[in-house]
Chain A
Amino acid sequence: MTRFVAGRIGFYTLIAVLLAFFTIPLLWLATAPFTSDPTYEVRMPDFTSENFQMIIDHPYALWSLVNSLVLAVGTAVLVVVLSALAAYALSRVRLPGRDALLYALLLLSSIITGTAAMVPLFQLAIELGLIDSQTGLILILSGGLLPAAIFMIKDFMDSTPKSYEESARVFGASPLQIVRHVVVPLVRPGLATIAVWTIANVWGNFLMPFLLLSDVEKQPAAVIMYTLYTEGGQANLKVLSTFGLLYSVPVVLMYLFVSKKYGFRFHGGIKR
């Protein structure tokens, strides 16, 4: 009995320590944006909206969120369309060297990381005139995410029945029509997974835009956030805390939406 009680006490103590460890760093983000004169201290907020007004008046803050959205959505569209086409062809047609290709893709996507490739990517962007180009950044980000995306979506394609395509073909549909009207509806959850995965990746990505976009009007929120707390002088905590919150809310909402709609299924490589 005493052992059981001691076990309970030990269990709840550990849980309390864990909760504290994971909560305490987040408290500041929850309180400071609503406090009139935020410091690094966590205080009871007085629920002012003045800090949000400052964000609206800030020259780059809101715009950088738009830039993040452009990069995330642009990359997601490109990755979803190209990976779906490629995965479909690889799933249905035995192209020569297909298995070797898939193996190579998986290997490449795990070893060529931003860290390992920052020097050549920076060089390449200079040579191709892609510095300060959002389109260029979207292409570079897509190139990095496509192998894993093809891999994930091919799993979905492999598990869909082929009989629908066969009947559509009997009725004279062209391959592209079959993809659009038969295959896409069947693998929609897979496509949604890839889209969410891509958006989450690009939304949080700091290194690539930090390297390749020097024009402050084109920089996404990740870079602006970093600039706000490192650039000389006293950091403006009103702007920083509120901006950090606004920048975080979309990923949290997206996560809640996904886990509610699909249940949070575990995908090995969902985050790089």
Chain B
Amino acid sequence: MAQATSPPEARDDAPARRYSVDAAGLGRLRAGAFVAPALALITVFLVFPALWVIYLGLMNYRLTGVEAVNPKIVGADNFIKAISDPAFWDSTWLTFQFVLGSAVIGQVVLGFSIAWMLRDRRGTLKSVVEGLVILAWILPGAVVAFLWVALLDRDSGTLNALLGIPGFPWLLDHPMLSIIIFNTWRGTAFSMMLYGAALGNVPPSHLESARLAGASGWQQLRDVVFPHIRGHILTNLLLISLWTFNDFSPFLLTAGGPDGKSEVLAVHVYKVALQGGDLGYGAAISTIILLINLVVAVFYLRLLRSKK
């Protein structure tokens, strides 16, 4: 919101304004010293690895053997190897299914539905449902992964007992479906809370007039609610897609197996680079992951800016 009368521009050198520009009298030098330690850590352990991964991708670096001591520059070989390797494309396709199934469809639809169903409720029912959904989200990843191993166990798991199909091997026969439902269960809380906050901003009077005009539930959603929360939906989609794309927890449930049938890119990199020892090739795949992240994040930041 632009002010009708804007105050005169503050100038750094004007003595009268100096205090409010630099209230504590830090000065640029000391301010720099305050920022420096944080920047140093970020540079060494975040920026440098991101740049180095590109360089590593151009080398034939290995964990052991001759190439470990004497790596050579192999140019784009690793990248060419990646895009001509069916295992890479399989893994990319599985990652796409994982993101689409568990984030875009699972978490968004379930999160929105819960927020919509509970929108004007107070009291126990709302806190119990929300509490459970949030609990699934805050428990440590290693614990929930094992809870799902127990749930899906073929002989005495709870799911097979409930469905009356003892001996059905979920993790072997349907590994992708298992990790998609697992991740939906695990991550719905974020979307639920985001839509809960977003629905609070939809003016009740608009909904009321839509109701009086005889709009059905679906028409209210389409014509009143969605236009109001469009920005939230986009934010939500971009963030959870980015997180799910980078999620390593399928490893805890299926370790990519059986036979790589649930080996999403995050797990693929680990298997190729750190278990298989081919660091150069792993770095090339990491670079591709970084680039995909960059595209999604730039979209997201543009969205934030346009909102401001």
Q: Which of A's residues lie within 8 Å of B, judged by CB?
A: 11, 14-15, 18-19, 21-29, 32, 39-42, 78, 82-83, 85-86, 88-90, 92-95, 103, 105-124, 139-140, 142-144, 146-147, 150, 162-163, 165-166, 168-169, 175, 178-179, 182-183, 200, 203-204, 206-207, 211, 221-223, 225-226, 229-230, 240, 244, 247-248, 251-252, 255, 266, 268-269, 271-272
Residue of B nearest to A78 (CB): B41
Please list 7 pairs of residues, one from A and one from B, whose beta carbons are closer than 8 Å in the complex, sorted by A's number.
Answer: A24-B151, A25-B185, A26-B147, A40-B155, A82-B37, A222-B140, A226-B145
A223 to B248, CA, bound (A): 13
A200 to B129, CA, bound (A): 22
List of B residues within 8 angstroms of A143 by Cβ:
41-42, 44-46
A89 close to B26 (CB less than 8 A): yes
- Known contacts A119-B273, A120-B283, A229-B149, A169 near B24 by CB under 8 Å: yes
- Known contacts A122-B274, A266-B194, A15 near B117 by CB under 8 Å: yes
Q: Which of B's residues lie within 8 Å of A, judged by CB?
A: 12, 19-28, 30-32, 34-35, 37-39, 41-42, 44-50, 52-53, 56, 61, 113-114, 117, 125, 128-129, 132-151, 153, 155-159, 161-162, 185, 190, 193-194, 197, 235, 239, 242-243, 246-249, 252, 255, 265-266, 269-270, 273-274, 279, 282-283, 286, 289-290, 293-294, 297-298, 300-301
- Known contacts A23-B132, A120-B56, A225-B140, A95 near B45 by CB under 8 Å: no
List of A residues within 8 angstroms of B141 by Cβ:
204, 206, 222
A97 to B252, CA, bound (A): 42
B140 close to A119 (CB less than 8 A): no
Residue of A nearest to B68 (CB): A126
- Known contacts A29-B143, A89-B26, A123-B52, A116 near B293 by CB under 8 Å: yes
Residue of B nearest to A250 (CB): B140
- Known contacts A40-B156, A116-B293, A225-B146, A22 near B185 by CB under 8 Å: yes
Residue of A nearest to B132 (CB): A22
List of A residues within 8 angstroms of B197 by Cβ:
266
- Known contacts A108-B50, A113-B246, A120-B56, A146 near B279 by CB under 8 Å: no
List of B residues within 8 angstroms of A162 by Cβ:
19-20, 23
B143 close to A119 (CB less than 8 A): no
List of A residues within 8 angstroms of B139 by Cβ:
204, 248, 251-252
- Known contacts A15-B117, A40-B153, A229 near B146 by CB under 8 Å: yes
B132 close to A95 (CB less than 8 A): no
B125 close to A15 (CB less than 8 A): yes
List of B residues within 8 angstroms of A95 by Cβ:
28, 31-32, 35
A42 to B147, CA, bound (A): 11
Instruction: Tell me, rounded to whole Å, the shortest Cβ–Cβ distance linking B25 to chain A.
Output: 5
List of A residues within 8 angstroms of B12 by Cβ:
94
List of A residues within 8 angstroms of B22 by Cβ:
92-93
Residue of B nearest to A208 (CB): B248
B44 close to A39 (CB less than 8 A): no
Residue of A nearest to B304 (CB): A106
List of A residues within 8 angstroms of B161 by Cβ:
41
List of B residues within 8 angstroms of A18 by Cβ:
114, 129
Q: Given A111-B50, A112-B50, 13 more contacts at CB 8 Å?
A: A25-B158, A27-B158, A82-B38, A83-B38, A94-B12, A105-B42, A107-B301, A115-B265, A116-B293, A120-B50, A166-B23, A206-B140, A251-B140
B42 close to A146 (CB less than 8 A): yes
Chain A to chain B: the 6 pairs with minimum beta-carbon distance, closest first: A143-B45, A162-B23, A89-B34, A120-B49, A93-B31, A111-B293
Instruction: Tell me, rounded to whole Å, the shortest Cβ–Cβ distance linking A271 to chain B.
Output: 7
Residue of A nearest to B279 (CB): A119
Tell me which of B129, B147, B151, B273 contacts A118 (CB under 8 A): B273
Tell me which of A88, A112, A116 contacts B34 (CB under 8 A): A88
A94 to B19, CA, bound (A): 13
B53 close to A120 (CB less than 8 A): yes
Instruction: Tell me, rounded to whole Å, the shortest Cβ–Cβ distance linking B278 to chain A.
Output: 10
A25 close to B144 (CB less than 8 A): yes
List of B residues within 8 angstroms of A266 by Cβ:
193-194, 197
List of B residues within 8 angstroms of A200 by Cβ:
138
Instruction: Tell me, rounded to whole Å, the shortest Cβ–Cβ distance linking B21 to chain A.
Output: 7
A19 to B114, CA, bound (A): 11
Residue of A nearest to B137 (CB): A271
B117 close to A117 (CB less than 8 A): no
Instruction: Tell me, rounded to whole Å, the shortest Cβ–Cβ distance linking A30 to chain B.
Output: 10
A14 to B249, CA, bound (A): 28
Instruction: Tell me, rounded to whole Å, the shortest Cβ–Cβ distance linking A178 to chain B.
Output: 5
List of A residues within 8 angstroms of B142 by Cβ:
204, 206, 221-223, 225-226, 247
- Known contacts A108-B47, A111-B297, A120-B283, A169 near B158 by CB under 8 Å: no
